[in-house]
Structure 1
């Protein structure tokens, strides 16, 4: 016959595991102990409200004290306290939780504010303590005070004591190797990190009523947005994140249904590229700190922001796997994303100037969000702007429309060039003039026009305004424009846009192709062939392709051209540390036949052709990338030689 029984866990075997593995950061013990004190006070206040306990005039607070001589760190509250039976239940029996039992009894009376787990949380103190004493007295009239002590092994002592005050005092005898927790500076920093917004004042080495608490019991995010001033938002930001630069703007989250969520997200002003790596979004549960940057609750791309989010519906001690699979958490994450998108869209529509002035600081976060989250992209795609070569910020749609309008203004309306589609007005005029076309309807003509597949608009971009200066000069000279995409995320974002908007846009870096508008027309094919052959024979770099083109501007002798596909493929492989896809193998040196030096090249003797061809190549390469050590040495020697010839 099968036999059933209860599994029993020996505390002797369990305590070493708790001491070593309970939390990844041992300093979190202070949060657990202080949170238990807050829990005890909240319980007592609830009992007073229900008329089950008598109130007094004492301030509800937590007192932390350090005694270096005794080697102790103490945390004391004036909450509900415990009697001997409760100490046996909630301290000695690890599996029980005072908060859980209290909630079960008083949930109908509104006990949602209980946060502590006076079970495992208490035992976290053994990660830094070699011995712990508890002095406690219950709120119940006539209850005897109790002292409990244990070294964290398998035994404990419990006895009566002479404590007169209601509440609990926990005295931790700090282990020799953990003496840092007897330093006032350490405790202050831990309170600031874990207990900054706990709902009752926390004092360190309390001396009297003039002492200032370490925490803020009424943080700004708990207030209604309509009751907060801009200066209060800025001051809260400076105090919380120790950043004395004002944030660009902020979002105040405040809702109670279908879940409870309060908080403030700040868009910081980025002062260096290092700061783009990670902001700090602090997650709280009922004003108790849980962790920084929990991506299961706050989307990863929002980690570039600074903020405080308080969500009572998230357990204080919970695994990441739980958060990943919890539907409520997923709803919270989506709501935060929506509020951020709404804020950005609202700012774009109501204060375009402020939006554009902030763009350089927020663009990386927005672009990363689009790549990571398709829903976010759908919400903000119409407000993504790009700076053009004139410093003007435009959406892609506006940029392309402006480009098309400028092109139409420059075309002759009367006659279309051979091979080009005639303007609609010209076709209509011809239709009226020719009787044989009189029966052709305007609808049929429109249908024919619509049958032609729409080609994506080509958008040129600049990734380095200094390095690509000569290309920019050529574009400006030809009346062309380009957008500036010079952040680390732009190559990925442009590829993402091409994927999402395949029919609308095609992106080419300004040095990836020679736009027809830059060319002055066809030159003599035989001369071009001879020029190319002469250049190839003179260049030390025998692997580079050479091509001749006649540009409208003769100021630049040559440019380096690499196809957009080859360059992007090479950058992608370099990013992932892969070999075998060097974009330089696809380089083409395009010599400008309109340049006087290039125009005279074939008249030079072989020695001078070598000198001039390589100097032109080096100048073109410097605008594309760094020269190799050998090339730089040769370029320097040739440049010095030119200077010497000049001063002779």
Structure 2
């Protein structure tokens, strides 16, 4: 028997259609052919179990072989095989009403191939210029046939001799795809796509070192594990089994997972798998796309964002479900009711597992917290349901390293850290070393300070302030210690307004000039025991700038300069000494200017009072000019006095030393300024 015919597809040439459709993932052909071979083998097992096949099953395996000289790749199985009629039905009649319509429908969806197994066979034409299919049905007395096609609609089918049942598919690789004739390339693809298929997949022989080189042994090189850990019952596995499977999934990862969750659901959907909590680093993006999605042990993708919430993509492991509709668009995936149920189930299982470890083995949970923290915070920030579950076990860490739940910490600090308005003020530092002096001051006052130095902490703080009633977070350097938690009205400053103005100008003369940093002088009454000068940074603007670094939409704040307050302690003896020294050094010389300024100020006020209530056209031009001249002279005198005070401060070592000490305590003194500070300190000593 020999027959020629045309494939049932409304396209002049199926080869460019398939190639165009799967161009971005043309290595998919191997998964499709091996999966089909596995299906054929499984069907034979099913027929045998049902008593419909009476013969010996024998050694069921799928074999892949490559002949570089002939330019061929062959995929062979010993499954059910096909008769000539079945070849005509399953190979020749492709279920397209229009190839172009199909292409247009799925042009943006890489996953659309899954489920179209008729098309799966034709994916071989992505890499082959000619394909032979040699098959013999398992049916008694069946005749083997050979189907051949060069990628055009024409094919031939003829009877051939084949001793064993099953199917051999021979691909004659085209010139553009010669890479697939390399053993290492094929082995990598088999490891990617066929690692856990249910029928043994064999590629060549195992090798050993012999006579100075690697040589083949007689043992088959089986690529896959037909019974991976996730297909077994949790009761059948020990901790070492889970760790071994993790190493099997990620052989290049030298670190062991923290914990794992074994998924095993058969109602109302089918879902199996094992999810691992890795040691999460700060670089979250590097951790993603590590969950492998399978459909009945056939690898599908590592891009699972449409199936699990985004924060769960930080986990590693395997999900296997035949109930995920993989042959539809990703937007449909995200709205599919079954997928949502699966996603919600996984979220609940993850939260339940963390809660279980926290309740049953808190020391272990605390030990692993630094690695779990990003994951838990990310989940709380992006999923309300996860927040509700996680608030019971999310931990806060103080600067001493002790860990608390939110409620534990609230109970610990509410007596000392509730302000006069009844708000609980939680103090924190984002750098224990840089803010050491600020932490010391807070602890000396009986306050507790949290360490919040993670990449998501600034967002977590904002969320907790919204969720927790009458609670606000304040960084420990955002104000003087007396004003961090205001328990009574501010203490009056024991300096006259004129003395305060003098101090502001003296210290303004020593403010550092740094790119994208602004410094302002402020004066407070902080007690004689507090520091003479300290640097603070307002909480709101600093927090906005930190968030801007992670959120492009807030770039406005990121472009603004950082603003700091140089706070002078009006009660400190050194601040008083600077005022006294200045009075003796330059106030005598300034007195004449001050007297002249007072006189000019009086003249300006009198002139303004004279013109008050009059319309502009009612005021003579000479009077307007006289007032303008007086105001100019007044401003000139004010500027001269300020400049002399600034010049005095700029040349005063004590002022410079106090400012630099405050900068040093806040981690802001670096480079040349730090070198000058060291030299000045040595000179003053």
- Report the Cα offset of residue 48 of structure 1: 1.2
1:539–1:613 CA contact under 8 A, matched in 2: no
- Report the Cα offset of residue 368 of structure 1: 0.7
**Are the structure 2 counterparts of residues 116 and 184 from structure 1 closer, same or farther at C-alpha, using a change threshold of 3 Å?**
farther
1:195–1:288 CA contact under 8 A, matched in 2: yes
- Pairing 1:290–2:300 present: yes
1:128-139 matches, cutoff 5 A? 128-139=127-138
- Pairing 1:194–2:203 present: no
Task: State which of 508, 517, 532 in structure 2 corresponds to 1:536.
Answer: 508
Query: Matches of 2:345 and 2:477 in 1, distance apart?
Result: 42
- Report the Cα offset of residue 171 of structure 1: 1.0
1:47-98, Cα deviation, whole Å (9 max, x unpaired) = 11222112315211110111111111111111111111111221122218xx
Equivalent residue, structure 1, for 2:158: 159
**SS of aligned partner of 1:473:** helix
1:172-571 matches, cutoff 5 A? 172-205=171-204, 210-242=219-251, 243-270=253-280, 273=283, 277-278=287-288, 280-315=290-325, 317-405=327-415, 455-501=422-468, 503-516=469-482, 524-526=494-496, 530-539=502-511, 541=513, 544-551=519-526, 556-571=531-546
Query: Matches of 2:165 and 2:433 in 1, distance apart?
Result: 71
Gaps (5+ residues) in structure 2? 1-7, 97-113, 206-215, 586-647
| Aligned residue pair count | 575
1:68-147 matches, cutoff 5 A? 68-95=68-95, 117-147=116-146
- Report the Cα offset of residue 561 of structure 1: 1.8
Query: Matches of 1:38 and 1:316 in 2, distance apart?
Result: 19
2:289–2:302 CA contact under 8 A, matched in 1: no
**SS of aligned partner of 1:24:** helix
1:569–1:583 CA contact under 8 A, matched in 2: no
**SS of aligned partner of 1:11:** coil
1:607-618 matches, cutoff 5 A? 610-618=652-660
Equivalent residue, structure 2, for 1:16: 16
2:535–2:564 CA contact under 8 A, matched in 1: yes
Query: Matches of 2:156 and 2:41 in 1, distance apart?
Result: 26
1:311-369, Cα deviation, whole Å (9 max, x unpaired) = 12124544313312321111000000000010011111111111111111011111111
Gaps (5+ residues) in structure 1? 1-7, 97-114, 409-419, 422-453
Query: Matches of 1:553 and 1:189 in 2, distance apart?
Result: 72
TM-score, normalised via structure 1 length: 0.82
- Report the Cα offset of residue 572 of structure 1: 3.3
Query: Matches of 2:409 and 2:528 in 1, distance apart?
Result: 25
**SS of aligned partner of 2:404:** strand
**Are the structure 2 counterparts of residues 516 and 303 from structure 1 closer, same or farther at C-alpha, using a change threshold of 3 Å?**
same
Query: Matches of 2:456 and 2:223 in 1, distance apart?
Result: 41
Which has the larger displacement, 117-126 or 35-44?
Answer: 117-126
**SS of aligned partner of 1:65:** strand
**Are the structure 2 counterparts of residues 149 and 554 from structure 1 closer, same or farther at C-alpha, using a change threshold of 3 Å?**
farther
**Are the structure 2 counterparts of residues 156 and 621 from structure 1 closer, same or farther at C-alpha, using a change threshold of 3 Å?**
farther
Query: Matches of 1:39 and 1:269 in 2, distance apart?
Result: 38
**Are the structure 2 counterparts of residues 554 and 187 from structure 1 closer, same or farther at C-alpha, using a change threshold of 3 Å?**
farther
Query: Matches of 2:435 and 2:534 in 1, distance apart?
Result: 10
Task: State which of 617, 634, 637 in structure 1 corresponds to 2:676.
Answer: 637
**SS of aligned partner of 1:121:** helix
- Report the Cα offset of residue 593 of structure 1: 4.9
**SS of aligned partner of 1:211:** strand
- Report the Cα offset of residue 20 of structure 1: 2.2
2:434–2:666 CA contact under 8 A, matched in 1: yes
Query: Matches of 2:527 and 2:444 in 1, distance apart?
Result: 8
- Pairing 1:43–2:43 present: yes
1:462–1:484 CA contact under 8 A, matched in 2: yes
**Are the structure 2 counterparts of residues 539 and 163 from structure 1 closer, same or farther at C-alpha, using a change threshold of 3 Å?**
same
**Are the structure 2 counterparts of residues 28 and 592 from structure 1 closer, same or farther at C-alpha, using a change threshold of 3 Å?**
farther
Equivalent residue, structure 2, for 1:65: 65
Which has the larger displacement, 70-79 or 16-25?
Answer: 16-25
**Are the structure 2 counterparts of residues 129 and 644 from structure 1 closer, same or farther at C-alpha, using a change threshold of 3 Å?**
farther
1:197–1:219 CA contact under 8 A, matched in 2: yes
Query: Matches of 1:460 and 1:88 in 2, distance apart?
Result: 76
2:494–2:525 CA contact under 8 A, matched in 1: no
2:650–2:656 CA contact under 8 A, matched in 1: no
**SS of aligned partner of 2:53:** coil
Equivalent residue, structure 2, for 1:447: none
2:417–2:425 CA contact under 8 A, matched in 1: no
2:291–2:317 CA contact under 8 A, matched in 1: yes
2:115–2:327 CA contact under 8 A, matched in 1: no
What CA RMSD, in Å, does the superposition of the two structures yield over aligned residues? Answer: 3.0
Query: Matches of 1:67 and 1:579 in 2, distance apart?
Result: 62
- Report the Cα offset of residue 549 of structure 1: 3.4
**Are the structure 2 counterparts of residues 192 and 29 from structure 1 closer, same or farther at C-alpha, using a change threshold of 3 Å?**
same
1:539–1:610 CA contact under 8 A, matched in 2: no
**Are the structure 2 counterparts of residues 607 and 320 from structure 1 closer, same or farther at C-alpha, using a change threshold of 3 Å?**
closer
